[in-house]
Structures are given as C-alpha cells and as structure tokens.
Chain A
Amino acid sequence: MSAPANFKFVETPRRVREDRRFVAGHGRFVADLRLPGMAHVALVPSGHAAARIVEIDAAAALAMPGVHAVLTGAELAAAVDPMMNGLDTPNVRRFPLAVGQVRYNGEWVAAVAADSRAGAEDAAELVEVSYEALPFVLDAEAALKPDSVPVHPDHGSNVLLDRTFVWGEVAQHFAASQHQLAFRVTWGRNSTVPVETFGVVVAWDPWNEILDVWASIQMPKYADQIARALRLPANAVRVHYDVDVGGSYGVKRGIKHTVLAAYLARRLNRPVRLIEDRLENMRAGDAHGPDRIFDVTVAFDGDGIINSMKMRALDNVGAYAGRAPFQLGKPVGAIVGPYRIKSVEYRAVSVTTNKAAQEAVRGFGQAPTNYAIETAIDRVAAALGLERIEVRRLNFIRTDEFPYLIPSGTRYDSGDYHTVMDKVLAHVDWPALQRERQRLRAQGLLAGIGISACLEPSGGNSSFEPLLNPKNTTSTWMESCRINVDALGYVTATIHTTSSGQGHETLAATVIGEALQIDPDRIRIVRPDSLASLPGNSPVGSRMAIMLGGAAFHAAEKLKRKLIRIAAHQFGCAEADVDYIGGAIKQRGGPGQLSWIDLVTIAHRNFHLLPPDTEPGLETTHVMQVPTGQTLPTADGRVQMYPCHSFEFHVVLVAIDPDLGKPEFRRYVIGHDCGTVINPAIVKGMTLGGIAHGIGAALLEEFVYDDQGQMISQSFMDYVLPSAHEIPEVEIVHHCTPSPFTVLGQKGSGESGYLGAPAAVSGAINDALAPLGIVMSKLPIRIPELSDAIAAARASKQKETA
C-alpha cells in the first residue's frame, strides 16, 4: 500500500489528548486504586546468591496484628503452574517465590499479606528463614564452563541456549577477504527502570467466578498466562486495560507478581495489592536487561567493503529464563544493521547465573547488538585509515535495493540511509564539527565525534520464538480495532491494551479521522477490559503505529465502504460512481447527496432503506495480522523477523577533561526516518526519550553485583539515572521513507534513539581517546575508570618518549 502524499491529520501537529489528564494529576495508576478490604503485600528477600531453603518459620510474623497470610514457595508451587519458559527448557522452573532453593540475592522467598504495607514490612522482617549456602556463579564465561555449578541442577548445565546460525558463505567470504579483525565489547547489565515500579491489584469474585486484575503492565498474552498459571479458564480472568502505566519501555511483565497476588486473593477472599517498593524492584523485580559479551570478527577488503561477519553473543540471563534468550533472537532480524554484509555466522548463547532475571528491554536486544555492529564499522575504518563516514557510505544498503533481503532471511522494507546521513552531515556542518573537535583538543581537552547508523525494526512479531524453540509454531501476531458510530453520529473506537505514554488514543483517533475524513477530536477511544476486547498483543516491538494504526485504518475503511454501499443503494447507482468527501457522500454526475447524519440515520433507523444483506447500525471491526508475517523459520534459521525498518543516524561531539574524566556533550544530532509520522510530538518524544535511555546505558547505569553475589546497586543512590543535566539538547533531522507494507507508510518509532545512542556515545569517547591509542570496550563507561585509563595511557606514552 502506498501512502498518500498529503494528509489532513496525519503528520500535522496535534496535541496528545492523553496529556490533559496527566498534567492535572488525574492519571489512574495502579497504586491509586483502593478496594475495600484490600490486603497489602511485602516480600521477604533472600540474602544469599544461592542457598537451599532449610526452613521458613512464619510464626512470629503471623502473630503480628493485621497479618492475613505468610505465603511460601512450597505452598504456592503446589497450587499454581510454573511460569512459562519461551525456550524448550522444562527443567528450568520458575515460580513467583523461590521453591526449595534461592537462586539470586534478593529473590523472594515468602510474601506477607497484611492490612497495610508498613504492617506487612514489619511482619516480613520477622519471618525467619534458615538457609544452607550453596556455591554460586556470576560470570557468564564461568557459567559456560562444564564444571560450573548449574543454577538449575535438573537442567544439567547453565546453558539455556547455544545455537550457531550460518547464513551465507561465511567461510568462503572470510577466505576471500583481504583483512580480518576481531574484538570484544561488553554491554553491562542495565534496564529501563521506569519511575513507577511494577504493581498489581487482584480481586477474586467468587459469585461470578472472575478474577479482576489491574496492573502496571505492558505484556502480550498477560491474561492468558495468568489463567494458565492459576489453572483458571482463560475467560475467568479480566484484565482492566484502563490503568495508566507509569513508563515501561518493555519491562513491565510482572506475571510473577500477578500470580502471587492472585493466589493470595483467592485464598484470602479479599483484594490483594502488590506494589513493588524500589528495593524489591531493583533486586528482584526481574526486570533487568541484557548483560552481554560480544565477540565479533569481520572480514573486509582494503577498500573498506565488509564482506562477512561472525558474532558470538553471550548473554548472562540470570537465575531464570524470562524473556532473555529471545532477546538474542530478535536482533537476527537486523543482524547486519544497515549494511550490505553478505554473510553472517551468529552464535547465540544464553547462560544462567545467580543474578536476577531479565525482562524484555526496549529494543529487545537490538541496542546492544547495534553497539557491537557499529564498533565493528569504526574498527574497520581505524584499521584501514579510512573515514568512518566513508566506510558507512560504502557499505550502506542503497535506496534502490529495497526491499532488501539480509542473509538471515528478513527483508528490510524501505530506507534511504545515504540521504539521511547526508542530511545530518549537512545540518551539523561536518567540516565545522571536525574543526570544533580540533579546537577543543587544542585547549587541552580530549574531544571526539561519535557516529552510529542503526535500524529500528518495528511492527513486532514473535518469529524469534519459533526461531529459538522449534516446538513453538506461532506465526500469528495480531492487533484489532472496533469502530462504532452511534445513532447520533458520534464515533467511538476501541483499543485493547494498556498504554505507558505512547499516546495510543491520539494515534488511533488520528488514523481513523484521516481515513473517515472527520476531525479526530470528535472520535472517542475507549479501552474495554480483556474479556470484552478483541485480540491484541500490547505495545511491544515498536508495533502500535503499524498495527493499531493499521487495524484502525482498516476498520475505518470498512466503515467507509459500508457508508458508500448505503449511499449508492439510495442513489440507485454503482458504488464506483459516488465520492466520499469529509464524511458525506455525493453522486458523481447525479443529484444524490447524503450527509454524515443522513447516512447514520439510515443505518440506525431505516432498515427498509438498507441494501440487502446489510447489518443495521454502523459498526466495523478489523483484526489485523502483522504485515509480512506468514512463515515460520527455515531449518537454517532464516525468517522474516519484523516488517518495517526505521533508520537513525547519530552524530555526537563529546569533550572530556583528561584529569576529571567526565564526558560532556557539546553537540547531539540525530537523523531519524520512521516513514510517515502519524503524530510529530509523539515521535519526537520517543526519540528524545530513547536517546536519554541510551546515554544512561552508555555512561551511567549498571546493576552491579559484588563477588559475593550481592547486588550493590539497589537504590537510586547507586543506580544512576540521567537527570536533565546529563542529557544535551538534541537536534532532530527528519526524513521520510514510507514503508510499502503499511496503510499510511508509517513505521515504528517506540525504540528510536535508544537503539543507536549507546554506540554513538561510546564511539565519541573512543574517538577522543584515539590519539592515546586506547579504547573503552565495556558499557557503561564510568568517569573514574575513564580518567584512570587516560592517565595510564599518558604515563606509558611518556615512558615511550622518555
């Protein structure tokens, strides 16, 4: 489908309607809910990284006033099914509370339900747990060794996944290339850490046999997984989607919290509320992100063309599988980045250790992978003495080559990487930027320019699941929208998910308004609960512009066609002989015309005037499959991952005082192409927010474990989030290469900025360090370590020249 060049509402500035209630403090977050008789939960954490649970004595806790229950893993595991693993690893079992053994520092061992959160915490302190310490492993490479202690003994080892894909003639391309280089980069364990922690309120209605769930959730198949775990019929679970989520960026998948709270709610016959406090969240919310070592080898020629790449991605998953292994699979869909690399060998290794579990983090593994790919490009340029810009220019896929099939089986839909890059270089005035770098260096500072060129695969699909687990044959990845025009002509449409700030109501209303040619502000968007909802898969994988936009558009088109059919029938002419203009319909070359309200009235009240076989009223529904999603992976692991591919190009100038070691941003420009932009303010917000996350990952944020397996970055004093001081003013250069696969040409932008910023920031620092002959190969790059590396390099240079 091609996109019309001139939109009425799409691509024009429009306020995000959701903002209104939030600026007045009228959001409805899960912690705002008050249900009568509600019990509050506090968790009892394990102090050990690994230990057998010998005994849990809850007597003192139960004796505290207001305490309703102390739940242990043993009781829970007898009553619920284990949480789902994505991989085929049935012996890696996970329950909301530790069962028999704790596997990481902070893991929840027991849960107290009491009349107040403070009372629950008082009682939680009195739960006595005796442990027998066990050996533990924290390092991924150590966990890979055959003699390492398995975190799940029944699984036999720490290896959850070790699969090598060979796409294309890798050996041949390596043999034929003039050069090779190898390097390692490490992505430190961090996460998106929303300001609102995860929380859930559950109530069981024994009279209607319905489990009501309100949660700060961003997760597909949430209701399904709750039902499965609790062994309830799926239509006994009602998730309320009209809960505002205070940020998620992937990680709010608190199924373990929900199962725990739901079990207690049914046991106690009272509503149960579990809101993580910050310590619970950081240590044991199981919302950590990739913790990954990349070993990369690239084969290239002297002119800078990169022919082939080998990459081993070793991910430290933590104590349970979670979504982490799949975060090694999704990047397969953009494994060569924006480059024409002809063949790839990709080894994905996922190991368990005694750290907290990972959850899906914005980009689902793409940001770390881009960091590795962009480092490769920079290293090739350095090895050949070529400009990094030129190596990228040489290797970029050309705009006339789309749709472009990459070795791992994904077709990139469209792009114009050269134009975006050139626009950014013109905007930043590339020669002037280089002179500025020189000027800073002349002042005695270290100064560097970082460049990154990255793709944002968007549209979502779960092809990484069948890719890494052949027993999984899921190829459906859908989203829905239902539009109803009432008897008075007002339009109401449904979306079937929670939102965490992406502006989905505004998105849907804008698209429907565009299709129906009526003012989006007249369209109300509502969120039915999960029982009243159509199928959907929540805002993951940067999919909603494409999928919700698509479903809304198609539903609107169906509505339009019905209106046309009604009108043509009135006029006694063919449907092709009428024009739909702004909600009214006119007969071409004839007297017939019907206004919007005329058409509505016929549909709702004048059945005798409807064409045969027409349902009364004006209601349409569309359930949409993801574009290009129709095949399972091939035996050698080739698959169409996501349908659409946005592109971003970052240029960053950084200055570093060599003694103090603090990188300061002097300029930040991003070129961004996400096809048709449905709402400019929303996309801008995503991009700037994504860059902030990326700067955090590059410079500030890490979940640090000491050598005793204690997580020492437990609070915001040690886990450092960027404030307004840490984020520079960002200039956005816009470009639009529409997608041929979407209704309006839109692509996703939910992960924009984040996917390329860490590579750009790291690249800038390494460019600044280049005159000293050192590189920093691990994120985050911390100030003291940077200063120490500079000092050591200078000292050894002095020795050389002395």
Chain B
Amino acid sequence: MKPAPFEYVRPTSINEACAALATDESVIIAGGQTLIPMLAMRLARPAVLIDIARIPGLAGIREEADAVVIGATTRQVEAERSTTVARGVPLLARALPFVGHAPTRNRGTLGGSVANADPAAEIPLVLVTLGGSVVVRDAAQTHEIAAQNFVLGPMMTALASGALVIALRFPVWDGGRIGVGFHEISTRASDFAFAAAAAQVVLDAAGRCTRCAIGVGAATPRPVRLDAVASKLVGSTLAETHIQAAVADAVDALDIMVDSHASADYRRRAAKALATRALTDARDAARGAPA
C-alpha cells in the first residue's frame, strides 16, 4: 500500500503555506495520522503535500484572559501533558486520552483533528461543547469562526479552499467548583466511537448547578451542544432522574447517524446513556472540587 507519487514542500511561514495551497490538488499535512493511511490506500491522491508542522508560531499553548489558545500544529500529546490545559480546560484534558492511541497522539495535532471533522472525533466535540472557536487564516486575513459553525457535517467544515486552521480557542470557565465528564462507547478503546458525550458543570456552595455545558458526538453527523439540556439543568442539584429526562428529550430530537456498523436506535440509546453519565460524573467531580 504505497501512496501515489506526490511532491512535498515545507513552507516556513503561514503566508507561504496559504500561497502553496493555491496550487491545484495540494493538501496540508501536519500530524499525518489521518492523511497518511488515506494516501497509502490511494483514497487521497494529492499532487503536493504542504507540511506546516514546523511553521513557527503555529504550535504552542497559551493562556489568554478567558481562553486557552492552542496552536493548530500543537501535538495532541503536548496538550495531554500540559498543566495549562489541565487547569484551564479540564474537559479537554479528560477527553484527550480517548483520542486514538498514545503513538498517534505523539504525532497527531489538535488543528488536524478539527480540520478533519470526523464525527467521532473527541477534540471537535470538546470545542463545540465549550462553545470554543477556530482561528482561520486565508491569504488575506485572520478570522475566528465559532466551533459549531465551523464543523458542518461528517468530514465537512467551513474552511474555505486556500485557508488554514491556525489555532483553537478553548473557553476557560472561571470561578466556582468545576467538574467534567467524558464518555464514549466503541468496539475497542480508541476505535471510532458509536457515541460520545462531554460535560462540564459548575456547582455553587449549596450544590446547585450554576453553569452547564453538555455536548454529544459520534452519534450525530457533527458534534451538537445540547443547550436545552443545559438550561433545564442550571439551577438544579443535578439529580440523576432529572438529568436522564432532560437528556432523553434532547437526544430524541437529534438527527442520528445510521450506517453498517450500528442502528440509529443504538446510537441514540448510547448517546442518552453516555450524556447522562458524563453529566453525573461532572457533577460528582464538582462536588469534590475546591471552591
């Protein structure tokens, strides 16, 4: 399984990368963990590979006032081991061990995962759940797209041709007792999930939920933030039956994927179970968290 021939260029700046993208049939490679198998099976046959992995300024984890900004070519393992991420975006820290296997996280990048937009991908799910955004650069300018407007469908994003993902903004929740939960179900750990759920909550001193974010993915064509669930749960003490009911209503209304691997019924059922679990985990973690 050898790829069809291609050329390889290594631009040294974002501008150069965007310019190279203007070439016909050129494609970006960063980590390559998804692209290279496609090349090996000759399902992808680009004429030019543009390697952006070493462009200065595209990798790195930086704290801003209300967000952790992660450069697109930051390796997943770096985010996994980052104390900044652990502190500022605990939901991402919780989700990262589910991404592929350790060897693929040593090479794969966060930007690559979001640009690829596989429905089962964990990083886009976290980004959408937290209401984060994708920083994009095309030849002319930089702009920011809300995550739920960036990931449009299976392997489909709002990335215009000739544009590059340059960073991801993960919102940081300030104050209060924060807890997170992340669950997915797949045939084997690290396989593409049938369903996944990500949750983050804040509890006040009385144990009442003051803020909630819950998203499901893998069962749906793209990650979906369940705002209706979140608003029902805010103000409550997150009793399990209450969570279950809110989740059930919301997931019943979702457009669920069906394919040869699983029925829509299964994915829907699993999504409900996992979303409930993610929220109860988040609640229990928040109860134990320092104020």
Contact = CB atoms under 8 A, between A and B. Distances in A.
| Complex: A in contact with B (CB within 8 Å) | yes
Contact of B269 (A659, A725, A726): A659
A736 interface: no
B266 A788 contact: yes
A254 B37 CA distance: 26
Given A720-B187, A720-B191, A726-B188, A659 B272 contact: yes
A723 interface: yes
Contacts of B189: 723, 725
Contact of A657 (B187, B188, B272, B273): B273
A475 interface: no
A791 interface: yes
Interface in B151-203: 185, 187-192, 194
Interface string A561-579: 0000000000000000000
B42 interface: yes
A355 B188 CA distance: 27
Nearest to A657: B273
Interface in B232-273: 260-263, 265-267, 269-270, 272-273
Contacts of B1: 121, 277-279
B36 to A, nearest CB: 13
A726 B5 CA distance: 38
Contacts of B37: 717
A660 B5 CA distance: 43
Q: Name the prevailing secondary structure of the A interface residues.
A: loop
B228 interface: no
Contact of A662 (B185, B190, B269): B185
A660 B263 CA distance: 13
Contacts of A725: 188-189
A784 B2 contact: no
Interface in A114-163: 117-118, 121-122, 125
B5 A788 contact: no
Given A720-B187, A783-B187, A784-B261, A121 B2 contact: yes
Contacts of A723: 188-190
Interface string A712-746: 10010100101101100000000000000000000
A787 interface: yes
A660 B193 CA distance: 12
A787 B260 contact: no
A662 to B, nearest CB: 6
Contact of A784 (B3, B42, B262): B262
Contacts of A659: 269-270, 272-273
A336 interface: no
Interface string A649-679: 0000000010111100000000000000000
B86 interface: no
Contacts of A277: 1
Residue from B185, B192, B261 having most chain A Cβ neighbours under 10 A = B185
A700 B186 CA distance: 11
Given A659-B272, A700-B187, A122 B266 contact: no
A788 B263 contact: yes
Contacts of A788: 263, 265-266
Contact of A712 (B42, B260, B269): B260
A706 interface: yes
B19 interface: no
B266 A720 contact: no
Nearest to A704: B260
B78 to A, nearest CB: 24
Contacts of B190: 723
A121 B45 CA distance: 13
Interface string B216-242: 000000000000000000000000000
Contacts of A722: 188
B22 interface: no
A24 to B, nearest CB: 21
Contact of B266 (A121, A278, A787): A787
B102 interface: no
B289 interface: no
A122 B41 contact: no
B174 to A, nearest CB: 34
A729 B189 CA distance: 17
B231 to A, nearest CB: 25
Nearest to A42: B2
A526 B146 CA distance: 67
Contacts of B291: none
Nearest to A726: B188
B42 A661 contact: no
A117 B2 contact: yes
Interface string B2-15: 11110000000000
Nearest to B194: A784
Nearest to B189: A725
Contacts of B4: 122, 125
Contacts of B260: 704, 706, 712
A784 B273 contact: no
Contacts of A662: 185
Contact of B263 (A657, A712, A720, A784): A784
Contacts of B272: 659
Contacts of B266: 661, 783-784, 787-788
Contacts of B270: 659-661, 787
A722 B5 CA distance: 34
Contact of A660 (B3, B42, B185): B185
B188 A720 contact: yes
A783 B2 contact: no
Interface string B265-291: 111011011100000000000000000
Contacts of A125: 4, 42
A714 to B, nearest CB: 9
B188 A791 contact: no
B189 to A, nearest CB: 5
B194 A783 contact: yes
A131 B37 CA distance: 29
Interface in A626-664: 657, 659-662
A659 B274 CA distance: 9
Contacts of B267: 784
A722 B189 CA distance: 10
A279 B2 CA distance: 11
A659 B197 CA distance: 15
B238 to A, nearest CB: 20
Given A783-B185, A784-B261, A784-B262, A660 B41 contact: no
A118 B2 contact: yes
A599 B192 CA distance: 67
Contacts of B42: 121, 125
Interface string A240-283: 00000000000000000000000000000000000001110000
Nearest to B4: A122
A787 B185 CA distance: 12
Contacts of B3: 118
A784 B269 CA distance: 10
Contacts of B191: 720
Contacts of B263: 784, 788
Contacts of B188: 700, 720, 722-723, 725-726
A717 B261 CA distance: 12
Nearest to B265: A788
A279 B269 contact: no
B188 to A, nearest CB: 6
Contacts of B273: 657, 659-660
Given A659-B269, A660-B273, A712-B260, 13 more contacts: A659-B273, A704-B260, A717-B37, A720-B187, A720-B191, A723-B189, A723-B190, A726-B188, A782-B187, A783-B187, A783-B262, A788-B263, A788-B266
23 contacts: A118-B3, A118-B5, A121-B1, A121-B2, A122-B4, A125-B42, A277-B1, A657-B273, A659-B270, A659-B273, A660-B185, A660-B273, A660-B274, A661-B266, A662-B185, A717-B37, A720-B187, A720-B188, A725-B189, A783-B185, A784-B263, A788-B266, A791-B265
Task: Give 4 closest A-B pairs by Cβ, nearest first.
Answer: A784-B262, A118-B2, A784-B266, A659-B273
